[in-house]
Structure 1
Amino acid sequence: MNEQIIETKKLLDFSPEDIKAYLKVLKSLVFEDKYTISRNRNREENKQFIEDFKIDSRKEKEILMNLEFDDFCYAVNNKNPQFAHEVLYIFNKEYELDRWGELVSVDIYIKTNKTQTRIGEDFLIIVSFHERNMPLKYLFK
């Protein structure tokens, strides 16, 4: 099988209203528990972050429900050729978290993918959910 490599670039052609509309859907899916945070072997950084800050499902939801349009940085097309039609949205959320009894301000890198289940229901995959590890620029700040 010939795997095709897809070049991705930052997508920046969004208005605040576009991102507010996306967040409305995102928050609805989170509220309805129609989401997951990737914790597979390719997402060790997510697992480590969740463990380091003792983040339970209640805290995950709290962080996601507090995303605002101005936390948005950019979007990219999915690199996987099978899912090239999907757009991944990248946010950076500054949040106060408990690191073993000490409250610290943490920049959380959040990459989301709104997709559909096999039966056609909307579902949210949080591809990345970890401490920011690269420079980012906000689109609206």
Structure 2
Amino acid sequence: MDPHYNQKYTKEQIFTVLQTIQDCVRESRFYISKNENRQENIDFINEYNLTNKKQKEILLKIAPEDFCHTLQNMKLGFEHEVLYVFCPQVMLFNFEGNEEWVDVYNKFNIIDPNGGKRVVVISFHKRNKPIDYLFR
């Protein structure tokens, strides 16, 4: 496992973090990155025709058991930020209309400017590498 990955958390700590993330999602204080560096997110949303409502549903179904690890943000100027990785299994319909279980890789950044928390969903796509769950 990458030395930047951290799994030193209790289930209670992750439950609290997930509550913060999901409160932001419920209150529409979040966005999913769809810039030129996040083509994988765009392709995933398009492949499964995920409306904003469905995207929200997926994010709100994440459980503490879906937690994998955290990592330090490596972007210059943002090294103080901790990114949280979860990977729930979700039943989705593909373009052929077939149902399939999909491991959805989610990487979250909780931003707290002056107490006004919001969440950036940096990654929102099919899992593309092996992962380890902390609580499974």
Shorter-normalised TM range:
over 0.9
In 2: Cα distance, 1:120 partner to 1:140 partner: 30
Partner Cα separation in structure 1 for residue 115 and residue 21 of structure 2: 16
What does residue 106 of structure 1 align with?
Answer: 102
Is the Cα contact below 8 Å between 1:46 and 1:129 reproduced in 2?
yes
- Name the counterpart of 1:4: none
Q: Identical aligned pairs, as a percentage?
A: 35
Larger radius of gyration: 1
Hey, what's the Cα distance between the residues in 2 that align with 1:125 and 1:116? Answer: 11
- The Cα shift of 1:116 comes to 2.9
What are structure 2's unaligned runs of at least 5 residues? none
**So what's the TM-score if we normalise by structure 1?**
0.91
RMSD (Å), alpha carbons: 1.4
Unaligned runs of 5+ in 1: 1-6
C-alpha displacement of 1:120:
4.7
Moved over 2 A (4+): none
Per mean C-alpha deviation after superposition, the further-off stretch among 8-17 and 23-32 is 8-17
2:109 matches 1:82: no
Equivalences for residues 45-64 of structure 1 within 5 A: 45-64=40-59
Aligned length: 134
